[in-house]
Chains A and B, each alone.
Chain A
Amino acid sequence: MSATATPSRTGDPTGDDPPGGRAPVGVRVALRHRLAERGVDRQLLLLVPAALFVLVLFIYPFGYGVGLSFQPTEGGPFATYQEFFTDAYLRDTIWTTLSLSLPAALLNVAASVPIAYRMRGRFRGKRLLTTVLVVPITLGTVLTAQGLLNFLGPTGWFNRTLLAVGLTDDPIRLTNNYWGVFFSIVITGFPFAFLLVLSYLSGIDPTLERAAATLGANWWQRFRRITLPLLAPGLATTFCLTFVLAFSVFPSAVLVGDPAGTTRVISIAAYDAAYVQYDYPMAATIAVLMGLVELLVIAAVLGWRALLYTGSTAGGKG
């Protein structure tokens, strides 16, 4: 034992880290020590590749886009912004997109809660069920759109069943309009919402609900008074993420929507400006406005979240 301990003990001072107490370099070492205490040391260099990556692939193009939006082909720096808000065809895309993405995100979060709540514990077939619920992530929007067209289209199974049963005389129109896009967003967004809500729920100490039960709370009171308040901050975060995903909807708005009319979402307007009219400043303006609207919604949600209890979800000392 002592034979192995001795070399390692003498090995330390001869290692690459010079001992702090040596008089000639005392001041320099002290400075380095002070910096290290604030987290400034050589390991920070490891951040350089990531920082460079963000700078080159995100910040520069982003700044370029913002700059471009203030350089319209004609008029002052705000001309494209003015045009966007005066042209109803452009302006209304904000409302169209919000009216799709807000309810879809809300529905996704709301639908995830009871399912995830039921799936907190361990039971047989949990993995299979989770897989089934999460599979839409892997499918991609286009496959989902095709499925929707086949299923909900005028000659799809859904309408044929309705016609056969006699519930309706004309096929219900559920594709190439608002509802097609709505369903598509819900289907692709649900797995994200579900996985997030499930992980937030699993983080809540299960003994809290059991404690509430021994105090006389029935299942609804346990959910309403204990689980939901602890889950709410997570729901806010989940809502933001699913909302952002839904807000930038493009493929399904074209494939299962009505891209010239009721589902002319803001990303379609940006695409038109850039690749149909070749008005890059206008496209950049729309992109900037898209980001602003998203930021406003997220800020509102996070502002509400800040009012909630966001601390530990454990019941005490583990």
Chain B
Amino acid sequence: MSFAQLRLDGVTRSFAGHDALTDLNLTVRSGEFIALLGPSGCGKSTALNCLAGLLPLTRGSIWSDDTRLDTVQAERRGFGMVFQNYALFPHMSVRRNIAFGLQMRRLPRAEIRRRTEEAIRLVRLEEHANKLPGQLSGGQQQRVAIARAVVLEPALVLMDEPLSNLDAKLRLEMRTEIRRLHQSLGLTTVYVTHDQEEALSLADRLVVLREGRVQQIGTPEELHTRPANWHVADFMGYRNLLRLRADDRTGQDEVVVTGHGLRLVGTPVGPVRAGAEVIAGVRPEDLRITGPEEGVPAVVEVVEYQGREVAVEARTADGVQFNLRTQTRPTLGERIGIVVDPVRLLVFPADGTDADGDDRPAGEPAEEPTTGDSR
């Protein structure tokens, strides 16, 4: 039941009249690793459950090549799914958990045994095969869940935040493990996460969702360097989001933005009109610290040691807060200058952001107290 491409066509799902997922169009090619990325409540899990057949669609359709899939029941789709809480059958041993899907397909006993043992080896759980899930650690449970899903050699593997319950170290290990399995088994994977780092490192393509709508679909590089709008930028680690105004002298490749005593040169993304309100975003690592005579003058307020780098919070005289990363450690209260490369400062139109009212940076940009009252 494998496919060359899986097509989601205007997939929409509403709960009690409210659209949790609106008009998702996506084509998954065989062998691809797709990450659905977004904050909680953005519709990414809804999308996954729709794909799995656990939620009926409100509108739209899903096609596996030329076969319509959204009317097919979950048990007949032949997709493997790894749940956030793993959903291991607590009364069955690891071996029986993994064999379950094969038994449901009524395969010959010898084949079931062979493929189960193979899957147990694949996730390196040989010594634990006879234990119950309750006797395993989180990472081991998670490997059982993956083995149980991939042992069926499914056309598509769906993973719903599979690493969110693990501690930081294990998460990194399992991340590599998942990528390794994806490549060595030639799986097609749709992976849901709210962790941009996880998505960037795992996926061939990312789908960023916000309030049920696709914000951007692209490769990790595209999303990292060219977020389509400031919501995506916010999510992709552009921690400095400043609500500013585009200056009259707006060029084709560069735009001057002003406000809160700042005057910066950036690169416009999307239609930025002169005089319009904009949101300028820059990553902490793309800001450079110089002496106070150059760049934006600011005072160092917080210094966080983070290993090779130091995270610095600095504030200008007008109360705008900047997050920076540097190699050298400034002292608290030190006067510094902040310089930003115009290519790295992305200027997004602020339009439509106020329509949603309570959205975070619209009223209170991520790290930027526009009113300066937090002093």
Contact = CB atoms under 8 A, between A and B. Distances in A.
Interface of A: 205, 207-208, 210-218, 221, 225-226, 229-230, 309, 311-318
Contacts of B158: 214
Q: Which of A211, A213, A317 has the most CB atoms of chain B within a 10 A radius of its CB?
A: A211
Interface in B107-166: 132-134, 138, 141-142, 145, 148-149, 152, 158, 165
Given A312-B90, A317-B141, A216 B85 contact: no
B230 interface: no
Contacts of A205: 85, 87
B336 to A, nearest CB: 30
Interface stretch (B28-36, B71-79, B324-332): B71-79
A226 B101 CA distance: 12
Nearest to A215: B101
Nearest to B158: A214
A215 B88 contact: no
A225 B90 CA distance: 12
Contacts of B169: none
Contact of A211 (B76, B83, B105, B134): B83
Interface in B202-241: none
Interface of B: 52-54, 73-81, 83, 85-91, 100-101, 104-105, 132-134, 138, 141-142, 145, 148-149, 152, 158, 165
11 contacts: A210-B87, A211-B88, A211-B89, A213-B73, A214-B54, A214-B74, A214-B81, A230-B91, A309-B91, A315-B89, A316-B141
B90 A313 contact: yes
B79 A315 contact: no
A318 B164 CA distance: 10
A226 B132 contact: no
A208 B165 contact: no
B79 A229 contact: no
A316 B144 CA distance: 11
A218 B87 contact: no
Contacts, number: 103
Nearest to B137: A317
B105 A216 contact: yes
B129 to A, nearest CB: 17
A314 B85 contact: yes
Nearest to B101: A215
Contact of A317 (B91, B101, B138, B152): B138
A159 B54 CA distance: 47
B104 A315 contact: no
B47 to A, nearest CB: 15
Nearest to A316: B86
Contacts of A216: 75-76, 78, 101, 104-105, 152
Contact of A316 (B87, B149, B152): B87
Contact of B133 (A215, A225, A226, A316): A316
A208 B89 contact: yes
Given A214-B80, A217-B100, A315-B83, 7 more contacts: A207-B83, A210-B54, A211-B89, A215-B101, A315-B87, A315-B88, A316-B85
A124 to B, nearest CB: 11
B134 A311 contact: yes
Contacts of B132: 309, 311
A215 B91 contact: no
Contacts of B104: 212, 215-217, 221
